[in-house]
Chains A and B, each alone.
Chain A
């Protein structure tokens, strides 16, 4: 199955990251059912030129213009794109100092709220603001684990899921503020990957409609229906270097992350709005 058009990736405005998309992006063969959910499956491959053009919003900003040179490409809209960003090294170091302090005492990580506030201040400066009700949590995943999402009832990996609340009525329409996962940040010292199915809600609905499937009642059902009926749709793996993160579009998409190939546990900072949503 060919890659369906959907959200595109871009470097967030006011960040300077060498995106190197051909190296950063990998497309899987599809998804499979396992344990209690859907999981991406390989083999993983580099996107073709056409696929890359469909996945990446515009040439990465690269070199900024100087006076007299043409201005840069227009900034990508945060709600139409998955935006790559990076927290500064001093923030990631602050995280690990707290982890080290906790390791010495054997207690909880001290000052996590202050750390979360510092991250929020940084994102606010960069105008990647989280809502006032933003909640942050650090998820530690065992090295080699295939999902950072865990079914709270069984404790087993739950795989790909929506970044907006699965219990929301489908279709979601144009609700301006959905409870959702706002962003993920790799806090670990190793590169990691987030896996997304980059369809927009509109694209997802159109694909279900094209296949003449019954309209699902909730977001969770719509995703399950799609993944059941399109197991060959290629998921996209986005490599995140230490400190890098993705700002996720408000309309939501299908996402998971994993710690496969890691030597150390994965550590992902999840930034949600309106309480825990999605992951």
Chain B
């Protein structure tokens, strides 16, 4: 599919790579930079709605390759294990032939042995959100009463470690974090964390400003990343850094491949996001539950009533897709990083620039350009003999 052609049929969209399902919008924490607009809402997805959702996915024709099912967009562990046991049974029935990896992105405060048994039984990938030592983590990740949460998060991490459940960590980087790469490195080592991804604090949803928007952030971010990468790669065993692995893979892939196709996030229905009522959207997960003056709600329909065909035929989707495609075209024409990136995330473009038909965002400057530059620099200084290319290219 070209950048700007409007997909008319379902075989021109997808394939599904990531299915984000929101068991509940509720979160037991109240982090200062959270993008979720309804995190006090205690509704829970009914099993009937989940069954509709899985049937919708099965009937959509989007499942053509293995994909990931991420339980997120709220704290997924506030919904009890019993619900997920029934969900697993529905998934087994509706997706008998699917190759699907389930994952949870959790704040870890509710993890106990029962959850660990569930994770093991269903081979769940676990991602934990933790921002480092208390002076960084507790600044932003707080309860509604304003208390820090690191102690509870670490108890969850200890439980995962005690049950020998591998997990990855996502750390949100704010402006103050950029001064503390060594302290973050020590924190990860101390708590048995072997894999980390850095999300820069983004302007998304209700989080209308980021500490990283201040002048001078880009060189600080690069300095931070270069320092952290040096520590992580020289550790024994090395600490896996998602940004390094993704950037290295992009750099190595770009040498061998032609022009990149659109990404999971800016290709229609590469991602499907389904909220607890069965409303679904595509593109960036952060768009679900949000609306704009031009497009109205970004939710395109409901799994109980709207087929993929009907959505693809709707003028609203056509307008949305045309704008996203135009944004990708603009990225392709104006950005020398496009061969490694494939175009910026529509969510960031909408929240920062007010339109999908735009180019650079804070996310681009930090998470794409800076990471690619720092990784390229590292790879140049550590020629292949000293660098396990099979490891970085995964």
Measuring CB to CB, which residues of chain A are less than 8 angstroms from any residue of chain B? 14, 16, 63-64, 66-67, 88-91, 122, 125-126
Contact = CB atoms under 8 A, between A and B. Distances in A.
Contact of A125 (B133, B189, B227): B227
B182 A88 contact: yes
Given A64-B135, A66-B211, A67-B32, 12 more contacts: A14-B180, A16-B133, A16-B135, A66-B140, A67-B211, A88-B182, A89-B186, A90-B189, A90-B231, A125-B182, A125-B227, A126-B179
Contacts of B235: 90
A127 B223 CA distance: 12
B176 A64 contact: yes
Contacts of A16: 133, 135, 180, 183
A186 B324 CA distance: 56
Interface string B209-224: 1110000000000010
A14 B135 CA distance: 12
B238 to A, nearest CB: 13
Nearest to B179: A14
B137 to A, nearest CB: 12
Contact of B186 (A14, A88, A125): A88
A14 B182 CA distance: 11
B185 A90 contact: yes
A89 B190 CA distance: 10
B139 A64 contact: yes
A14 B220 CA distance: 12
A122 B133 CA distance: 18
Contacts of A64: 135, 139, 176
B74 interface: no
B139 A63 contact: yes
Contacts of A88: 182-183, 185-186
Nearest to B189: A90
Interface centre among B190, B231, B235 (most CB of A within 10 A): B231
A66 B139 CA distance: 7
A14 B223 CA distance: 14
Contacts of A126: 179
A122 B186 CA distance: 13
Contacts of B179: 14, 126
Contacts of B140: 66
13 contacts: A14-B179, A16-B133, A16-B180, A64-B135, A64-B139, A66-B139, A88-B185, A90-B182, A90-B185, A90-B235, A122-B182, A125-B181, A125-B227
A35 B53 CA distance: 85
Nearest to B140: A66
Interface string B81-124: 00000000000000000000000000000000000000000000
B194 to A, nearest CB: 15
A50 B252 CA distance: 63
Interface string B186-201: 1001100000000000
Contacts of B139: 63-64, 66
B223 A125 contact: yes
A89 B180 CA distance: 13
A125 B185 CA distance: 14
Contacts of B180: 14, 16
Given A90-B189, A125-B227, A63 B182 contact: no
Interface centre among B139, B210, B235 (most CB of A within 10 A): B139
Interface string B375-392: 000000000000000000
A182 B192 CA distance: 35
A91 B209 CA distance: 36
A221 B133 CA distance: 47
B183 to A, nearest CB: 6
A122 B183 CA distance: 11
A64 B140 CA distance: 11
A126 B183 CA distance: 12
Contacts of A66: 32, 139-140, 211
Nearest to B227: A125
Given A16-B180, A64-B176, A126-B179, A90 B133 contact: no
A14 B136 CA distance: 12
A24 B135 CA distance: 20
Nearest to A122: B182
Contacts of B186: 88-90
A172 B180 CA distance: 37
A14 to B, nearest CB: 4
A182 to B, nearest CB: 19
A90 B180 CA distance: 13
Contact of A63 (B135, B210, B231): B135
B245 to A, nearest CB: 21
A111 to B, nearest CB: 13
Per CB-CB distance, the 8 closest pairs between chain A and chain B, nearest first, are A88-B182, A14-B179, A16-B135, A89-B186, A64-B176, A88-B186, A125-B227, A67-B211
A89 B231 CA distance: 12
Nearest to A16: B135
Contacts of B181: 125
B242 to A, nearest CB: 21
Contacts of B223: 125
Nearest to A86: B183
